[in-house]
Amino acid sequence: MAQQLAMIIDASKCIDCKGCMIACKVANNVPEDQWRNWIKGESGMSRPGKHNGTTKFQPGACMHCDKPTCVEACPTGATYKDEMTGEVVIDESLCIGCGNCIPACPYGARFRNATKRKADKCNYCPERRAQGLLPACVDTCPTKARVFGDINDPDSEAGRLFLKNKEQLTRVAARTETKPNMFYIGDPGPRDWGGEAVTPASMIAMKEAAPFIKGIVGLSGLGVLAMLGRQLIAGSDTDHKENDDV
Amino acid sequence: MSDTMYKRHDGSDIFMHWFNAVCWLLLLLTGIGLIQNPVIDPLGSGYPAVLRSLVGGGGNLLLLHEALGILWIIGFLVYLIINFKGARFFLAEVFAISPARDMLWMVKKMVLMTLGPKPLKMLGMDPVLPDQGYYNMGQKAFAQASVVGGVVIAVTGVVMFLSDRTFGAAATGMIGWAVTLHFITVGLVFAGLLVHIYMAAISPEERPGFKSMFTGVVPGEYAKHHHRLWFDKVQSDDQQVSE
Amino acid sequence: MSESSQKISRRDFFKASGLIAAGAVGGGAVLGGLRKARAAAVPVKPWDSKFSACDMCFNKCGLIARVEDGVVTKLDPNSKFLKSRGMLCARGNAGIDQVYDPDRLKYPLLRVGERGEGKWKRISWDEALDLAAQKMEAVRKDYLPCGHLFSAGTDLHSQFVGRFAEVYGSFNVTSHESLCLVSNNRAFLDTFGEVPFADVLNSKYIVMAGANRFEALVTPDSIDLMTAMRENGCKLVTLDPRYTKTAALSDEWYPVKPGTDMAFMLALAHVIIGEKLYDPQWVEEKTYGLEQLAEHVKQYTPGFAADQCGIPAEAIARIARELAEAAPAAMIYPGRRSSDYEDSTQIRRSFAIVNGLLGNWDRPGGLLAARVVGLKGVPYEAPWYDENHEDRIDADKVPMMFEHEGSFLLTRDAVLAEDPYAIRGWFIYKTNPMATVPNRKKTIEMMNKMDFVTVVDIAMSDTAWYADLVLPSQSYLERYDPCSGLQGSSACACVVKRDPVIEPLYESRSLFDVMKGIANRMELGEYFDFTIPEYREKQLRELPGAEKILDRDGVYYNPSKVYGIYDGRIYKTLSKKIELYNQRYEQMGIDPLPVYTVPTKVPANRFRLVVGRNALVTQGSTANNALLHQLLPTNTLWINPNAAKKFNITDGDLVEVSSSVGRQEIKAEVTDRIREDTVYMLSGFNTLSTRQHLAHGNGASIAEILEGGYDTVTGNAALHTTFVTVTRKVA
Amino acid sequence: MNRKLITIAAACLITFFTVSMAFALGGGNGRKGKFLYRKNCYKTCHEEKVGGLSPANKTQAEWTAIFSDTSKIPCHDKWPAVPEKDLNDIFTYLHDYAKDSPSPAKCS
């Protein structure tokens, strides 16, 4: 079975310290005021007395979805779902900065990197993983609320948690279903912030235009074939002669 | 008389034509390889995958495409500088349309090329084509599409090229539309290109014209038949000169 | 599962068909090449990994610096570092921007304008050290050695400031602690004979008052608290006038009326004793003064406490019972910063006493004694200056000041009054009284009293801004540090050190080198005639092999007993037992049992200003950090919606906060996370120094507004006794 | 270990006391006492042998006991002559920073 790299998050352990956000920012050189990850806060009313632990802070980032709307929005395939690892990858060298993928993510996980001027988002820190380290946010997390790994590997910490908490794993649903691979153990806290995948008008236009373009090219091709056919069948001299006749 | 050759293209024109043709071919091949989205890719995902792997990744393919595009644009800019007169002549000829005559020519020609003269005769129309100038209307139509399309393609291409070099986040909308326009325009011009290639290279009647794209000259007979107005003009010019 | 497996098989199908397509077109090799091209896209960063310990707050979390071409590119937690549970918080990660802060001090600067005017002249190190030595010599000559004050913050080099002061002849040394934790230390020391570590990890029931452990991070307590709650079912009850993140994550939270925590604690004692919920044998054996305490707390019924602190009497009684039920794995969390009221020591004594009743000392889930780390002191023979005054300038003002910490507020008053003697020189290292001490104007007056002020720091703090000579110090990643022994509750007793991970930036020098340089110019060189690595060798002399382990793991552990340390041992108190009733207090005329005093009523149309932390702030040292600034661009004034309505304030309005000593303008944050009678803001913002470009003119300085009360037992600052008016500024 | 420490410390100080010594203990200058202790006792006996003896090694009561019966302090022969006043300063230092004192001497 192929890998599915994912995060299993216990939101109830998050203390909203923002360690993950700074760690990620430094590890990935994310420009000022841009973030690859977040902690969604529960701004609920302060209620004296017993709370029964209802407040949750919710760490998150790109969810490396199984049905990634960002991939659908990318014209060049610079963003793709890696079949080997299950990651949603951005090939920066192939990204043309069209920005289609940014509104296409219902979770707002993508942004246009102000320095590189290309699409950016969580990539699970491949440079760190190449050196045997965990993604920066996971490594630094004080309470280890974030756990990262291959959920298809029952021997990994993530896989173990995935199997153990199978019954109570939740996902933050967006209005567009993308089958995210970010799993929360139990109540994830804030739930209703996921939006809708929006494909920019230009991309829609291109998608709509594509069949027509193909059609026109096809018609033109047919025309050429017709001419060629006539040339072969009727011979080419006819035309000339007719012209000469004048 | 049939031996008299008339000069139609000078060296830089010929060079530009073939330069443009080669650039187009390569840009088209690399460009299609850059589209990888099942909804829009023209040849399916296998072509981009193979092409990308051949050049060591999509990034390299993009670089190659960008380099070719810039070369193409620079080529035209240099041509404009070196042979501005020629370019102006070309544009003037291409965009000079006599609607009644040229439209009629176009309709008749299309029918003649595909169905022959009979349908025209059946409709009671004279299958004889109206006289044409330096370019016939078919050539003009394609040249117009090439010029306008070329400008659109070049501009949108430059926008995309600059997308990760100068533009800020506010420009993403523009870049997105640039991608779309680039795609649509290339598609439309390519549709015309197919006809152009057939007419110019495969169809035997334009053989002298095709040859002229190498030699720069056409036989008088050909000029007279195909570009009567131009032929007449050249004739009278010659007489004036010789007198 | 069936759906996902289906999905996977479908994906596999596509994969297979893709393979076929690729095979048909370009052959298998092409696809292989494709894969390789993708794999090669991951650049392998050729970094060096070097151990160090964080210095963004006092915790000293173990870290690994990733260094590329002599530049630190990332700070990672050292997973072997048990005290910090292998973590690094936001500030720890942002340490990189402290080191590479463009505002860092780069070379020695001499003031050429008026104090605080910001006119400086760059001078050479030789000039700077000559000048410092000459000025210090002059102060010593004109005002006796004790006429020079030394202040050093929490830092591993600060011990060299103390060493220098002593050989120079001054015992007037202050630390940051009299603005922070001395009341709490006093209270627990005077109850248990030492300052305990809280075994949060193994506790089943924790009452947290006067502490905000999920925002004011203390390792390992903050992390262990979460582990205890989520893995071990520990219950957390928080008392705080603010709905802090700790409050939000607690099982129970009560917006206690500020200054009434003691009533709550004494009522807990009332219930525990009244209902005989304590372990009679343990209390009999280990504690002193139960009878007196029982008599004393009779008056403090839950009903009484409820009236005082606004927490329902039933809740108080229930919490007392639940605590006792969970005891000894239960605790009143001792906390740390206790600089809040004039009776802070007594307030914290009430915390300690309830712990005594819970019998949690030296037992799992309770309060732990200090463990042996094995690090040794490096003694020296300081010369004796017979001409000196006999005692510290702040001596005898309060009965139980910690001699080695001093009291900053009492020192300031004495300096201003020149009573009992004059102090005219001030050497300051890595502490920022202008930002952390209440009543900033008075601190400026203190500065103005001085003939010469030398500040060694990495940034142009407000304190440096008012100094005469500013010397650029090395950051924690650029220098050798002495070893330090740390105890992480039940997690570990360990030793850390720091070696430089990068070359020192600019002309920065370590404090040790500065002290050495000045000492050499004052014929005191013999006291600094060593290097830090040599010094460390002496510190580690009884821990053979420790140095090697430090180099290998970044930390050295000395395995030692965690619980039952006091079996067969006496408590270091007069009665040799846990003193519920403090005998020495009785002898000294201090209340031997904490007597509850009703806090001053908040005057009409005023608010009590309280201070506090969040996880992105370390006093006056983080507001200029570019990374942290992105998450916390400014400070705001928390004000309750009802109060805001009364004063016609809406969220985001600019308001003026005014006390008897100062006023500041700040944006209001209207939030129900604070009581109606209380307002709150973070410290560290609105520096006077313009060389803190993110903090200067940004938000408000709390030091400007806070008045200067102090704890009458220890001289610790009382930071919660300021009443302010809040007025909306008309645009 | 503890007993050994006591013995050695006691020994250091014996020279300066006689059984009949009648001055009152305490109230001296502890700061000077620290200096004198370092100068007279620490270097001579404690530093090398036991890795340092700190006031916080004993309770105030223990220090008082040692100083009221100094005849049992064994290393007196190594001591230079120290005036009574200085001795009291030393006592004051050790006593005031004893482990059960309000400010126990800091040791690592």
CATH class of B8-242: mainly alpha
Per the document, the length of chain A is 246
User: Pick from B50, B52, B57: which is nearest to C25 by CB?
Assistant: B50
8-state DSSP, B201: I
Query: Any long-range contacts for C124-133 (C-beta under 8 Å, 24+ apart)?
Result: C125/C507, C125/C509, C125/C517, C128/C469, C128/C471, C129/C514, C129/C517, C129/C518, C129/C521, C130/C521, C131/C469, C132/C454, C132/C469, C132/C471, C132/C518, C132/C521, C133/C518, C133/C521, C133/C522
Query: C473 φ, ψ to 5°?
Result: -95, 160
Q: Which among C18, C34, C41 has the least Cβ separation from residue B52?
A: C34
Contacts of C75 in chain A (CB under 8 A): 26
Domain shared by C88 and C210, yes or no: no
Mean of pLDDT values over D31-52:
70
CB contact under 8 Å between C31 and B53, yes or no, is yes
Residues C234/C226, Cβ–Cβ less than 8 Å: no
pLDDT in tens, A158-192: 999 999 999 999 999 999 999 999 999 989 988 88
Instruction: Please report, for chain D, the start and end positions of each structural domain, with discontinuous segments joined by +.
Output: 2-96
Number of C-beta neighbours around residue C23 at 10 A: 14
Task: Return d(Cα C478, Cα C106) in angstroms, integer.
Answer: 14
Looking at beta carbons, which residues of chain C come within 8 Å of A132? none
What pLDDT is attached to residue C311? 97
Cβ pairs bridging A and B (under 8 Å): 170
Close Cβ partners of C417 (under 8 Å, ≥ 6 residues apart): none
Secondary structure element (H or E) that encloses residue C449, with its range = helix C440-449
Give yes or no: residues C56 and C205 share one domain.
Answer: no
- What length is written for chain B? 243
Of A16, A50, A126, the CB nearest to C245: A16
Which one, of C237, C206, C384, lies nearest residue C312 by Cα? Answer: C237
Residue A219, pLDDT above cutoff 70: yes
φ, ψ for residue C330, nearest 5 deg: -150, 155
CA end-to-end span of chain B: 19
Identify which has the larger pLDDT, C103 or B13: C103
The answer to the question of residue C145 being in a domain is no
| Torsion angles phi and psi, residue B173, rounded to 5 | -60, -45
- CA dist., res. C475 & res. C52, Å (int): 12
Contact flag C171-D108 (C-beta cutoff 8 Å): no
| Contact (Cβ atoms closer than 8 angstroms) between residue C392 and residue C403 | yes
A77 touching C, CB under 8 A? no
By the 8 A CB rule, do B89 and B79 touch? no
Asked if D100 reaches chain C (Cβ–Cβ under 8 Å), the answer is yes
Do B53 and C25 count as a contact with CB atoms less than 8 A apart? no
Whether C235 and C327 map to the same domain: the answer is yes
Contact present, C152 and C177 (Cβ < 8 Å): no
Cβ of C77 within 8 Å of Cβ of A140? The answer is: yes
Q: Is D43 or C263 the better-scoring residue by pLDDT? A: C263
- Mean pLDDT (chain D) is 71
Structural domain boundaries in chain B: 8-242
CATH number for the domain spanning C201: value is: 3.40.228.10
Contacts of C41 in chain B (CB under 8 A): 57
| C576/C661 same-domain check | no
Q: Give contacts of B54 with chain C, Cβ < 8 Å.
A: 26, 30
Best A71, A82, A89, A227 residue to mutate vs chain B (most B CBs within 10 Å): A227
pLDDT of C19 strictly over 70: no
With CB atoms and an 8 Å threshold, state whether B188 touches A91: no
User: Residue D97 CA to chain centroid, in angstroms?
Assistant: 11
The answer to whether B60 touches A95, Cβ cutoff 8 Å, is no
Task: Based on the fold, state whether residues C331 and C228 are members of the same structural domain.
Answer: yes
Whether residue C38 is predicted with pLDDT greater than 50 in this model: the reply is: no
**pLDDT bracket for residue B128 (50, 70, 90):** confident
Q: Which pair of tokens denotes residue D69?
A: 């019966």
* B46–C22 C-beta distance less than 8 A: yes
Q: Which residue has the higher pLDDT, C173 or B172?
A: C173
**Interface ipTM:** 0.88
The answer to whether D83 faces chain C, any CB pair under 8 Å, is no
Q: How far apart are CA A43 and CA C432, in angstroms?
A: 34
Same domain, C22 and C91: no
How far is Cα C538 from Cα C541, in angstroms, rounded to an integer? Answer: 5
Q: Which residues pair with A89 in a beta bridge?
A: A80
Q: What angle do CA B103, B104, B108 make, to 5 degrees?
A: 120
Q: Determine the Cα–Cα distance for residues C276 and C324; give it in Å rounded to an integer.
A: 10
Residues C251, C282, single domain; the answer is yes
B2-6, C420-424, D94-98: range with highest mean pLDDT? C420-424
Q: Is D2 on the interface with C (CB under 8 A)?
A: no
Interface contacts A/C by beta carbons within 8 Å: 138
What value does the mean pLDDT take over residues C492-514?
96
Residues of B in contact with C34 (CB under 8 A): 49, 52-53
We find that the CATH architecture of domain A5-42+51-185 is 2-Layer Sandwich (3.30)
Cβ atoms of C192 and C352 within 8 Å: the answer is yes
The Cα C467–Cα B171 span in angstroms is 49
pLDDT band at A200 (very low <50, low <70, confident <90, very high): very high
Residue A106, CB-side half-sphere exposure with 13 Å CA sphere: 21
Counting CB pairs under 8 A, whether chains C and A reach 3 or more, is yes
Q: Which residues of chain A does B138 touch, with a Cβ-Cβ cutoff of 8 Å?
A: none
A 104-133 → C contacts, CB under 8 A: 126-127, 130-131, 133
Residue C715 Cα distances to B38, C338, C400, C441, C526, angstroms: 74, 12, 8, 20, 35
A57 Cβ contact partners less than 8 Å away, ≥ 6 residues apart: A11, A14, A15, A16, A39, A40, A41, A42, A189, C245
Q: State the residue for tokens 């000025």.
A: C135
User: Rounded to whole angstroms, how far apart are CA atoms D39 and D33?
Assistant: 10
Nearest to D42 among C376, C379, C541 (CB): C379
Among D106, D96, D2, CA closest to C194: D106
CB contacts, 8 Å: B56 with chain C: 33, 37
Q: Is the pLDDT of residue D20 over 60?
A: no
A158 phi and psi angles, rounded to 5 deg: -65, -45
| DSSP string for residues in B34-65 | H---TTT-TT-SHHHHHHHHHTTSHHHHHHHH
What pLDDT sits at residue B225? Answer: 73
Record: contact C626-A22, CB cut-off 8 A: no
Distance CA C697, CA C704 (A): 13
3 state DSSP class of B145:
helix
Contact C630 A53 (CB under 8 A): no
Interface test with D, best of C186, C574, C575 (most D CBs within 10 A): C574
The neighbouring-strand residues paired with C607 are C724
Residue C222: which of A27, A66, A142 has the nearest Cβ? A142
One-letter amino acid at C235 equals K
Residue spans per domain, chain A = 5-42+51-185, 201-245
* pLDDT interval class at C16 (50, 70, 90): very low
Identify the residue among C44, C93, C235 best suited for mutation to test binding to A, counting A beta carbons within 10 A and taking the highest.
Answer: C93
Is D106's Cβ below 8 Å from some Cβ in C? yes
> What is the span of the domain harbouring residue C715?
607-728
pLDDT in tens, B164-189: 888 877 888 899 999 999 999 999 99
In angstroms, the CA C18 to CA C21 distance is: 5
* E strand residue ranges, C180-272: 197-198, 205-209, 235-239, 252-254
- What's the domain count of chain C? 4
Q: To the nearest whole angstrom, how far is the Cα of D30 from the nearest Cα of chain C?
A: 9
- C5: CB partners within 8 A, 6+ apart: none
The minimum CA-CA distance between A198 and chain C, rounded to whole Å, is: 24
Closest Cα of chain A to C519: distance in Å? 40
CA distance D60 to C691: 51
Q: Kindly state whether residues C295 and C201 are assigned to the same domain.
A: yes
Q: Are C360 and C331 in contact (CB under 8 A)?
A: yes
Residue where the block lists tokens 């022959």: B116
Query: Nearest by CB to D108, which of C376, C570, C576?
Result: C376
Give the β-pairing of C148-152 and C173-174. Answer: parallel
Assess whether pLDDT exceeds 70 at residue C36.
Answer: no
Select from A5, A26, A178 the residue whose CB has the most chain C CBs within 10 Å, as the one to mutate to test that interface.
Answer: A26
Q: Decide: D and C in contact? Rule: 3+ Cβ pairs under 8 Å.
A: yes
Residue C236 has pLDDT above 80, yes or no: yes
Q: Do A26 and C94 touch (CB under 8 A)?
A: yes
What CATH number does the domain containing C620 carry? 2.40.40.20
pLDDT tens across C437-446, in order? 999 999 999 9
The nearest CA of chain C is from the CA of B56 a distance in Å of 6
Question: Which chains form contacts with chain B, at 3 or more CB pairs under 8 Å?
Answer: A, C
Q: C26: helix, coil or strand?
A: helix
Concatenating the DSSP letter of every residue in A44-55 gives PPP-SEE--S--
User: Which of chain C's residues have a Cβ under 8 Å away from the Cβ of B32?
Assistant: none
Which residues of chain B from 171 to 200 reach within 8 Å of chain A, CB to CB?
Answer: 172-173, 175-180, 183-184, 187-188, 190-192, 194-195, 197-199
**How many whole angstroms separate alpha carbon C198 and alpha carbon C370?**
11
Question: What span, in angstroms and rounded, lies between the C-alpha atoms of A39 and A20?
Answer: 9
Confidence bin at D107 (pLDDT 50/70/90) = low
Q: Which of A117, A103, A106 is nearest to A63 (CA)?
A: A106
